Amino acid sequence: MPRRALALAAATILAAAGLVAGATPASAAVVSLGSVVPVPATVQAAAGVTYTLPAGAAIQTDAGGAAVGTYLAGILRPSTGFALPVTTASGTPTSGIALLLSGADASVGAEGYQLDVTASVLTIRAQTAAGLFYGVQTLRQLFSASVEARTVQPGPWEVAGGRIIDRPRYAYRGAMLDVSRHFFGVDVVKRYIDHISQYKLNTLHLHLSDDQGWRIVVDAWPRLTSVGGSTQVGGGPGGFYTKAQYTDLVAYAAARHVTVVPEIDMPGHTNAALASYAELNCDNVAPPLYTGTAVGFSSLCVGKEVTYTFVRQVLTELAALTPGPYLHIGGDEAHSTSDADYRTFMNRVQPFATALGKTVMGWHQLGQADHTPGRIAQFWGTTTSDADLSAAVAKGDKVVMSPANKAYLDMKYTNETPLGLSWAGLIEVQTAYSWDPATLVPGVPASAVLGVEAPMWSETLTQLAHIEFMAFPRMPAIAEIAWSPQSARSWDTFRVRLGAQGPRWTAQGISFYRSPQVPWATAPPTGGRVEAESYTSQSGVQIVADAAAHGGNRVGYIDAGDWIGFSGVSVAGRTGFTARVSSGGTGGTIQVRSGSATGPLLGSVAVPNTGGYGTYADVSTGLSAGTGSLFLVFTGSGGGLFDIDDFALTGATPPATNLALNKPATADSRCATTEGPEKAVNGTTNGGNADKWCSVGASKWLRVDLSASTAVGRVVVRHAGAGGESAGFNTRDFDLRTSVDGTTWTTVAQVRGNTANVTTSTFGPVTTRYLRLDVITPTSTSDQAARIYEFEAYAA
């Protein structure tokens, strides 16, 4: 039967978020300084140093940093429960948190910052308030993910010691939101501003007009909004911003160091204006309002003088509301305007913007027209050569890179993505991340690239949850391209850092796409309730936003034969199953199976009609003995059977099994014949100083063959101190990698600045046969021997 999920107007389609209802994301270890997104320019960890935020701490600022201090307090107070007063710094603060506009390294420039963490004080220094703000964005990622919660969470609130000196690669770091195809209200746009500023983007490009709608009041042309703003794609009611609302948005953005760039697209993409005023049409006949998604059919009448009166008055009113330096005049897909008319139109219109003291910005087709001082061409092509872009650069334009096949956030992730389009291609996270603006288009020199922007067109997007699903995790990927040095970027390390953002987004209530390319950090399921949307595999189901659901989402669109699997949830020792369900349909049955969707049946429970979707009831069943991971299989008559919010398994939790115990192990070398790699997997640390793997090789690595592919989500390493040696010999810096064939390796965890005797790294879980530990820095002393007393691997 047709799935309810395919009707966008009827469904909110989200990505999987939280795991355990009511629980905060796990944070077993202090976040390392270099694990943030975007990756900082330089990081220097201080071994053995940790700052713990005390309950009585204050946020101390100088005069220029007070607003940023208040912003930081607004983030930290709800989750910590601390008062955190914002006070004026006197001298050099020696405790609490300090935000200072002095003393920063000269290299940070106008938007960079220096972050210093000692055991007693956490200090951010910058040359501007913007720099302090971006330092705060890094700081919030150095606290555990639960700092993003809006209710009090358990501490301690720790930050790893050391120094970060950071600055952006590009001055223009943007995101675009199309509010014309579908209109989004002020609160939605503010939420998106919060999202983009969190990842150090500094520009919001608002696409305010198109064929389907005009979204900003223009006093001289009131029918633009009363008529042109009255609909949207699909025929909905549309909407528009009053001047007061737009001014409020601009101010909200400015407080987060985001510049708003308004776009009035012209001469094409203008049907909403043409439908509002007949005189803007060459035949003086207003076309009907348009609610479809075709492009290229509309054009202002280039030969009529009223057209230029219209444009001048629109830009004049918009410029008066916009303190930022740019006016975006569109210029793309003007297929109904001849080349000659296009050049005539743009050559008339561009001086209107410059006369208003604004810099002209437009899509790269603007290169056909004469150059104006400082003009910016925004490249949205999908090829590595373009005549219009080349012409723009030759004339002296700066370029903002927005290649549609890499940076368009409205493109589908995969063919199965229920939202978005695919005309520019499918854009998984690695595709969005793996490109360099400076070398993308041969003939466009690095010096011509002003920055990067990630556009979000809204033909298929109707609500905030849709925007978030398409933006996360790709928007942070584009943000790292825009901020971080190219030399610091690596897909292997980025995917690990990105995966660690998952619990943070869950705490913030962000709907996101759980790309299979990313080892998402998760809180291991416990004996408590498990969110159904935390599945690691599925067939047929989708995730739906629901304020009544415990985690804010539920698994829905369940038809007969659909299933969900949980690789990190074992059924061993479990004797009962309880699920929170709702149904406005026929109901059906939940089968509890082990190992696979066709594995042994351990129990089943009927789900009745509960009185409607969103009206919840618990259903329970006993379970027979089983082993392996949990699978829930859904049966019944037809489709739309029921929804499931969360569930609990009852019975004793089985002891975790060390998957690496006594498995074949190899290494680069050994310090002595008695200190081979087999000692790292023998299950003991109490056999004396020789009960370890030791290496003084040039490249120090340990590899364990699990003998078969299996799910691994946690690795425990017991270092020198665990075997009775000096803690100074604990492995300081190392990477953990996985491989299914022993040849191609993927980094799943990185540990930096370690001083602990035992480290625990959680990830995935991922299916792997081989595990590898690569030692980067063997100790915190001058001793160069790596010492691993035990290497353990677990499913979760």
Give the closest residue to 510 by CA, choosing from 795, 191, 116, 765.
191
Tokens read off for 55: 């309950």
Pairing of strands 588-594, 629-635: antiparallel
Residue 305 CB partners (closer than 8 Å, separation 6+): none
- Cα separation, 645 vs 742, in Å, equals 39
Residue 614 CB partners (closer than 8 Å, separation 6+): 546, 548, 582
In 80-198 the beta strands, taken as DSSP E runs, fall at 86-88, 96-100, 113-117, 121-125, 158-166, 172-178
On whether the CB atoms of residues 793 and 728 are closer than 8 A, the answer is no
Residue with tokens 């305007």: 337
- List, as one string, the DSSP characters of 337-353: S-HHHHHHHHHHHHHHH
On whether the CB atoms of residues 177 and 256 are closer than 8 A, the answer is no
CA distances from 162 to 61, 119, 793 (A): 21, 10, 30
- Rg of the chain taking only CA atoms, in angstroms: 28
Helix (H/G/I), strand (E/B), else coil: 483:
helix
- Cα separation, 689 vs 691, in Å, equals 6
Q: What is the DSSP letter of 91?
A: S
Burial zone of 251 (CB within 10 Å; 0-12 exposed, 13-18 middle, 19+ buried): exposed
CA distances from 687 to 251, 674, 724, 731, 789 (A): 65, 11, 10, 19, 10
Residue 625 CB partners (closer than 8 Å, separation 6+): 602
With b for 16 or more beta-carbon neighbours within 10 A and e for fewer, the 435-468 pattern comes to bebbebbeebeeebbbbbbbbbbbbbbbbbbbbb
On whether the CB atoms of residues 788 and 732 are closer than 8 A, the answer is no
Q: What angle do CA 540, 541, 543 make, to 5 degrees?
A: 150
CA distances from 537 to 2, 155, 515, 542, 658 (A): 22, 33, 12, 11, 23
- Cα separation, 120 vs 275, in Å, equals 64
DSSP lists the bridge partners of residue 488 as: none
- List, as one string, the DSSP characters of 238-272: ---B-HHHHHHHHHHHHHTT-EEEEE---SSS-HH
Active-site annotation, residues: 333
With b for 16 or more beta-carbon neighbours within 10 A and e for fewer, the 652-672 pattern comes to eeeeeebbbeebebebbbbbe
Q: Pinpoint the alpha helices (H) of 441-522.
A: 464-471, 474-483, 491-499, 502-508
Residues written for the chain: 796
